[in-house]
């Protein structure tokens, strides 16, 4: 790394080469405390469910995927062979993103978004990607919103029950069952549909997109008073993370400062702003040439897509930073900006890897190469941000397999969250 960049990052307490093993150990300790009902950052939410043993056949289910920026809804139909088809897909904005909504407004907006699916099935699989306590009937009590959703009256409500009431008021037929699941559970269930239990020893689902979270299968634990089931960690709430000056700047402008610290360190909603504040601060401190400093100070914001595209194509003038560099930067300026952005992405990958390592260890499985732990990762940050996926794989290979003797296999499937949510609706 350029010595000027290294000194700059050190000055602002930005550590890109986070100790992955140590972070994983911290996450594990917190997870185990949460399972025992002790004080913990992560909620360790019990779901009372496992992947189904048999494929769904000749069934239809309405699927809702609410999380991040988008609200998606569709109908999933399983044929006589268990093959799934998706129809009536619509996408709109997540209620509560643009303005604060009351509880009634929030559920009425969701009901309106589902009008195109009215009475097309009597079961709903609702992937609701926010912290919830899952009840044994499959409903979920909202613990709090993340990802900048503004609907505080909804906190503490049974989401499924409230939605069914809103649908009935709009003339829907009786809903036989509505099942709430987290997107990590949907990812895990989709992974289980790809890799049968005869070929793997356990399953993990992780989301690294707008937000961050993971779920895994917890084996029965007498000390914890828990049966074998899927556990949602709420990994993004982990607080024992290094915070740079740039992290504090970003956190101060969020809806809930001081919360979801791990999520804010590595998920897509925050990587762009972190990169922006790092580059902006560097320009203010005169790290670059005079003309480049002045040009950068004229930029008011940068998002993840912008800085990702710039890192992949630094000589293209189709990005804000690319155009500014073409007009103002010398070779060292370009090198330093790229290194700052790469440092932000490196840290994200390391935190993502630490979560997967902690979950894999906690499953207690994967001791044989013939029966690895199946991992399904979802999220644009994981797949589209330069070098994040590759760096996660490298850490898993080194720490899980080489050092710990735990074998793993990352799988993917098309429309994974939709498929997993549909499966949850039929459990």
Q: How confident is the model at residue 46 (pLDDT cuts 50, 70, 90)?
A: very high
Per the prediction, the chain carries an average pLDDT of 93
Other C-beta atoms within 10 Å of 93: how many?
A: 12
pLDDT score, position 13: 97
- CA-nearest of 366, 409, 82 to 217 is 366
| DSSP characters over 339-370 | HHHHHHHHHHHHHHHHHHHHHHHHHT---BTT
E strand or H helix that includes residue 134: strand 132-134
Q: Is 74 helix (H, G, I), strand (E, B) or coil?
A: strand
CA 52 to chain centroid, in Å, comes to 23
CA separation for the pair 325, 376 (Å, rounded) = 38
Structure tokens at 332: 């060292």
Token pair 């480049």 in the structure block, residue:
292
Do residues 203 and 51 touch, judged by C-beta distance below 8 A? yes
CA separation for the pair 420, 230 (Å, rounded) = 13
Q: Provide the Cα torsion 115, 118, 120, 123; round to 10°.
A: 100
Structure tokens at 111: 């009901």
CA 176 to chain centroid, in Å, comes to 30
pLDDT score, position 427: 83
Predicted confidence (pLDDT) per residue in 168-183, tens digit: 999 999 999 999 998 8
| DSSP characters over 261-291 | HHHHHHSHHHHHHHHHHHHHHHHHTT-S-HH
Token pair 């690319």 in the structure block, residue:
322
Predicted confidence (pLDDT) per residue in 65-90, tens digit: 987 678 999 999 999 888 899 999 99
pLDDT score, position 147: 56
- CA-nearest of 265, 238, 237, 234 to 250 is 265
Cα 426 to Cα 78, 162, 238, 307: the distances in Å are: 11, 20, 32, 41
Structure tokens at 246: 């740039």
Taking the alpha carbons at both ends of the chain, their separation in whole angstroms is: 51
Q: Widest CA span of the chain, in angstroms?
A: 68
**pTM exceeds 0.85:** yes
202-208 and 373-378 strand pairing: parallel
pLDDT surpassing 70 at residue 235: yes
CA separation for the pair 118, 232 (Å, rounded) = 30
pLDDT score, position 148: 67
């Amino acid at each position: 790394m350029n010595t000027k960049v290294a000194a700059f990052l050190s000055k602002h307490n930005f550590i890109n080469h986070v100790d992955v093993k140590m972070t994983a150990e911290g996450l594990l300790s917190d997870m185990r405390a949460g399972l025992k009902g002790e004080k913990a950052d992560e909620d360790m939410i019990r779901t009372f469910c496992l992947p189904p043993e048999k494929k769904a056949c000749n069934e239809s289910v309405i699927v809702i995927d609410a999380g991040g920026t988008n609200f998606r809804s569709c109908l999933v139909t399983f044929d006589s062979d268990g093959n799934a088809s998706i129809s009536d897909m619509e996408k709109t904005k997540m209620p509560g993103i643009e303005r604060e909504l009351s509880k009634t407004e929030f559920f009425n907006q969701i009901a309106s978004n589902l009008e195109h699916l009215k009475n097309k099935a009597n079961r709903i699989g609702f992937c609701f990607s926010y912290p919830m306590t899952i009840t044994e009937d499959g409903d979920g009590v909202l613990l709090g919103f993340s990802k900048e959703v503004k609907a505080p009256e909804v906190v503490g409500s049974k989401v499924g029950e409230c939605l069914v009431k809103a649908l009935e008021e709009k003339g829907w037929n009786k809903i036989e069952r509505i099942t709430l699941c987290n997107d990590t559970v949907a990812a895990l269930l989709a992974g289980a549909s790809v890799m049968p239990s005869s070929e793997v020893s356990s399953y993990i689902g992780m989301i690294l997109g707008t937000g961050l979270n993971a779920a895994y299968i917890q084996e029965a634990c007498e000390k914890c008073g828990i049966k074998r089931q899927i556990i949602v960690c709420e990994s993004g709430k982990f607080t024992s993370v290094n915070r740079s000056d740039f992290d504090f700047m970003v956190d101060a402008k969020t809806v809930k400062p001081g919360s979801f610290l791990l999520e804010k360190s590595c998920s897509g909603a925050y990587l762009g702003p972190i990169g922006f504040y790092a580059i902006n601060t560097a320009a203010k401190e005169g790290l670059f040439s005079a003309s480049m400093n002045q040009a950068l100070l004229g930029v008011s914001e940068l998002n993840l897509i912008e800085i990702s595209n710039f890192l992949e194509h630094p000589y293209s003038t189709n990005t804000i930073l690319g155009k500014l560099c073409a007009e103002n930067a010398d070779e060292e300026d370009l090198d330093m900006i790229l290194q700052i952005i790469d440092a932000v992405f490196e840290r994200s990958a390391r935190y993502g890897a630490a979560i997967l390592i902690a979950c894999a260890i906690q499953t207690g499985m994967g001791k044989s190469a013939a029966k690895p732990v199946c991992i399904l990762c979802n999220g644009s940050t994981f797949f589209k941000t330069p070098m994040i996926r590759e760096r996660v794989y490298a850490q898993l290979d080194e720490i899980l397999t080489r050092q710990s003797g735990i074998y793993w296999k990352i799988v993917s499937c098309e429309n994974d969250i939709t498929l997993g949510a549909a499966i949850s609706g039929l459990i």
